Amino acid sequence: MQIHVVREGQTITGIAQAYSTTPAEIIEANDVPNPNNLVVGQALVIPIVGRFYFVQQGDSLWSIANRYNTTPQRLAEINQLNITQPLRIGLRLYIPPQPKRDAEINAYIEPRGNEVSPTLIQSARNTAPYLTYLAPFSFGVLRDGSLKEPPLDTLPQIAEQNDVTLMMVLTNLEEGSFSDELGRIILTVKAVQDRLLDNIVETAKKYNFKDIHFDFEYLRPEDKEAYNRFLIKARDRFKQEGWLISTALAPKTSADQEGKWYEAHDYQAHGEIVDFVIVMTYEWGYSGGPPMAVSPIGPVREVLEYALSEMPGNKIMMGQNLYGYDWTLPFTPGGEFAKAVSPQAAIQLAADNNVAIQYDTNAQAPHFDYVDAEGNSHKVWFEDARSIQAKFDLLKELNLRGISYWKLGLPFPQNWLLIGENFNVVKNPTERENRTYA
């Protein structure tokens, strides 16, 4: 695959000719929402094997080969060049595809109400070939140790048909918010714990869940050790069934980080107890906060590097958002919340308002400004092929287990294309516990 960023005056037809493909293939691969009105700064994934590179001032076969992990001899041979001759600026070179490494891919899916919407069902079908896990969010734990089930509809069948492992997500949610009192009861009352574990096992067998995932958040700091002991108890129970156990962790940068979201999440203990963790490396930019990138790569790296100081990389999955936000300006704390937007909707919004898409190289994220029909100013931060590729490069650099998406339902076709370009998606992870991800 090749990522192309649209420049002033470019059209789908001209871009297709430059890469020896067709407009229809580009439109189909990207589900381009604006094929006749491309936006300057819009990122397109070009569906070709390998990629093309256009020679720039100062380039040599040696420098280009080093950039793309190949050899000057190989580049000269493929492109029928004399290895001793200087390169002409603008020359198009073909770069062969790079080797792919194994990775595990998870996606949460959040049904609302009493059924799974047709949109979510279709999203699950479309993405299942690229997934190791599918995680319906969530099974709510009640104070007596019973479970409130989410609607599942055909999600178990979709997972089975695509060799995807169902992840059973357990939360301490009450009335839409994480409850520290519910957490206290679960983690400190033995009778509730025993009943809960019995109910988890019964329900997991019913639907064929094979990873049990605890997303217990905003726990009391004094319950940290109780949480660790509970996870040991749960792990020992689930291992009898041959299942995996995993947890979601708040994005910490140190062991003693203060704040109710962080203090009960013990990275070192979770790294020792569970099979893997999902680190929630997103929501720096959030609906109730000021405009900024949702998952800027600098803070993401800082969290993951701390995680690596507490556990091996093959136990860490990077969290990643599949959405952006549209803020109405000026931002006022406690005022109007930003609206979630899919990458596709963001591109269409830029096209409709005839504004260019900018790219912040520090955050590694696209953004743009526009004024709506009522004269209100807006700021949009979202994700595109460049920002996702930057995260994939970080995942590979740090030798992490994989990536976990929050959440399915907002279309982002380029993400799934790039997964196929970068990774061999692991299936049947329960059979591959000793696999390395380097």
| pLDDT tens profile 155-203 | 999 999 999 999 999 999 999 999 999 999 999 999 999 999 999 999 9
Is the domain of 195 the same as that of 157? yes
Specify the number of domains making up the chain: 2
The three-class DSSP label of residue 157 is: helix
Domain assignment present for 436: no
Beta strands in 110-215, from DSSP E residues, in sequence order: 133-136, 139-141, 147-148, 165-171, 173-174, 177-178, 209-215
Domain assignment present for 205: yes
Domain assignment present for 270: yes
Residue with tokens 């890469």: 19
Domain harbouring 58, CATH code: 3.10.350.10
Is the domain of 72 the same as that of 109? no
Average pLDDT, the chain: 95
Is the domain of 49 the same as that of 183? no
Is the pLDDT score of 438 beyond 60? no
Sheet holding 339-341, edge to edge: 339-341, 324-328, 377-381, 365-371, 358-360
Is the domain of 164 the same as that of 35? no
Domain boundary at 70, 95, 120, which? 95
Whether 431 is catalytic: no
Q: Of 104, 217, 383, 421, which residue is the catalytic one? A: 217
What residues make up the domain containing 26?
A: 2-95
Domain harbouring 226, CATH code: 3.20.20.80
Domain boundary at 53, 71, 95, which? 95
| pLDDT tens profile 412-429 | 999 999 999 999 999 989
Count, residues in the chain: 438
Is the domain of 180 the same as that of 210? yes
Handedness of CA 123, 343, 18, 90 (dihedral sign): negative
The model's pTM is 0.92
